[in-house]
Structure 1
Amino acid sequence: MKIGVMGAGAVGSFYGALLARAGHEVVLIGREAHVAAIRQQGLQLSSQGETHTIPLHADTSPAALVDATLVLCCVKSPDTLQTAREMGPHLAPEARILSLQNGIDNLAALRSLLPHTVSAAVVYAAVGLAGPGQLEHRGGGELVMAGDALDAAGFRAFDDAGIAVRISPAIEEELWSKLVLNCAWNALSAITQIPYRALHAATGIVETMRAVMNECLAVAAAEGVQLDAALWSRIEGIAERMPQQTSSTAQDLARHRRTEIDFINGAILRRADAHGIPVPANRMLHALVKLLEDRPGLPG
């Protein structure tokens, strides 16, 4: 089957590479430098001490999505609506869209503009771009999705690629759980630029993360979402599962790019304000990341 990856940064390139290595036709839609490097030398995937060269198609234009039966949407949340407008004219009527994005607002955004079947997958993978065409996999890779997110051929494609898929009967709760995890980790990682294990060990960080989580749980409950009582252990466990990883928010700031903070802690702020719930820890982290975004050198 032909699989398109819209917004092939670290996450999209990782799953696209695994699917291409399994023999599927994959096209990555990404930034010009990344695309040029892949065209010249293939995608260089480093994982478990080994580097593999994976040849696959790459393009800068959504027009390359033509005839794709599955499209993985991996763009940053602020770009979702514009991306839907750009790729919509090139999608086959039967194409399925699978959002591998952070946040809880992207499904509604994509569905508002695309008449296709749109579903979400929650990503648990530690990956990063070392440079154009150079991908580092540091651990994980599981996707969590609803049982009807893909058709049979789509699920077979992920199985062929060795991508672990966990089926959840409560995908909204899964998306919220990942949002809370990101709220607890991403901004702190971005502000400090410290990997997860060392960050977790620093004085006062655990207490701050607990405060962030408790605020998020209060907001989720007000939204009618009851989250798993084991969520704290999952949040803390990131420090051991991905000890050398920094958050995508940290990587964006390090590259002088705008972050998704408005769709992470910012999503909590909007809903908290609507319900009259105080969320001072989330508000402070959001404000500090926005301050760092506005420092000289970042594009508008």
Structure 2
Amino acid sequence: MARHRIAIMGAGAVGCYYGALLAIAGEQVTLIGRPALRDAVRDRGLLLERRGRIELIRMDAATEPEAVAGADMVLVCVKSPDTEAAAQAIAPYLSPDATILSLQNGVGNAERLSAGLGRPVLPVVVYVATKMAGPGHVAHFGRGELVLGTGPGAEAAASILRRAGIPTEISSQTETALWSKLVINCALNALSAVSRQPYGRIIATPGAADLMKGVVAECQTVAQASGITLPADLWDQVERICATMPGQFSSTAQDMMRGRATEIEFLNGEILRRAHNLGIAAPINQALTVMVRLAEQRQA
């Protein structure tokens, strides 16, 4: 079977994890990320930590966007604030028939990428718990499923991912799934970041569950006013994540602990913007957004 050339643009914890699985399956993978990642992967390979053991995986790594040239499939994993810049950076180098996937938090990123590239982009809902444990060292803690939106190249992309052992489905309901994930992230990410606590400790703290339920309720009101029907069991999903991944810190918390900018404006901040435009009050999401902004200013 012919190898596919796959580029991971913005290879952090999510991109490195899926890139590692694709490389293990024999695909030709290039990680595009920070200089520390490039240097570590080129020197010794990528370390994948999972199931109590560490594997060393050889693959290519780069820092420049032109590394997407010749790729059959590009997984865009940049932070939401960098979406337009990433589109502009990779556009000149993309193969005409390359399939572009957006593996990003929040809603609307695939559309923003598509607008910047002038070509279709498949939205992807990512369900995985990972973190970078060091330069070129990704640790996996749970799950790993992907849900791809429908569109050109979706079936072929799903086939490649499935051959790598990545549970993948194609759905016409990715917008609802992305919204559902957004609401869950709104309930967990900012609290984990501001408190620097993992999910298990947060939900065990008196009053925290009621606070998170308030976040979910505000998000559901905004979603309904936006014409999005969300599943009725969202709070159950939040509780399940806290129970099954009690030691997990949110991606927002991980960014903050590394002194990096967070995606808060595309999580609770996204709900806050939409609520304002709709004339809806969202005081809990507003408070969490402001607290993360203040924490980011302190770090800066």
**Normalising by the residue count of structure 1, what TM-score does the alignment of the two structures yield?**
0.97
Report the counterpart of residue 108 of structure 2 in structure 1.
Answer: 105
1:201-256 residue CA offsets vs partner (Å, 9 max, x unmatched): 11111000000000000000110001011111111111122221100000011011
Between the two proteins, the alignment pairs up a number of residues equal to 297
Report the counterpart of residue 129 of structure 2 in structure 1.
Answer: 126
SS in 2 for 1:294: helix
**What are the equivalent positions in structure 2 for 1:6-25 lying under 5 Å apart?**
6-25=9-28
| Higher mean C-alpha deviation, range 234-243 or range 134-143 | 234-243
| Higher mean C-alpha deviation, range 156-165 or range 275-284 | 156-165
CA distance in 2 between partners of 1:246 and 1:266 (Å): 19
| Higher mean C-alpha deviation, range 113-122 or range 220-229 | 113-122
Residue 152 of structure 1 deviates from its aligned partner by: 3.7
Amino acid paired to 2:290: A
Could you tell me which of 219, 222, 227 is aligned with 2:222? 219
Aligned partners of 2:111 and 2:121 also within 8 Å = no
**What are the equivalent positions in structure 2 for 1:212-251 lying under 5 Å apart?**
212-251=215-254
Aligned partners of 2:132 and 2:139 also within 8 Å = yes
1:124-179 residue CA offsets vs partner (Å, 9 max, x unmatched): 11100011011110111011122446444322211111101133331110010010
Report the counterpart of residue 77 of structure 2 in structure 1.
Answer: 74
Could you tell me which of 5, 10, 22 is aligned with 2:8? 5
Residue 31 of structure 1 deviates from its aligned partner by: 0.1
Cα distance change of structure 1 residues 106 and 37 upon mapping to structure 2, 3 Å threshold: same
Report the counterpart of residue 263 of structure 1 in structure 2.
Answer: 266
CA distance in 2 between partners of 1:235 and 1:65 (Å): 36
SS in 2 for 1:92: coil
Residue 278 of structure 1 deviates from its aligned partner by: 0.4
SS in 2 for 1:140: strand
| Higher mean C-alpha deviation, range 92-101 or range 153-162 | 153-162
**What are the equivalent positions in structure 2 for 1:1-300 lying under 5 Å apart?**
1-148=4-151, 150-296=153-299, 298=300
- In structure 1, stretches of 5+ residues that fail to align are none
1:88-111 residue CA offsets vs partner (Å, 9 max, x unmatched): 001001111100100112122111
Aligned partners of 1:120 and 1:149 also within 8 Å = no
SS in 2 for 1:101: coil
Amino acid paired to 2:266: F
Q: Percentage identity across aligned positions?
A: 48
| Higher mean C-alpha deviation, range 160-169 or range 173-182 | 160-169
**Normalising by the residue count of structure 2, what TM-score does the alignment of the two structures yield?**
0.97
Aligned partners of 2:158 and 2:170 also within 8 Å = no
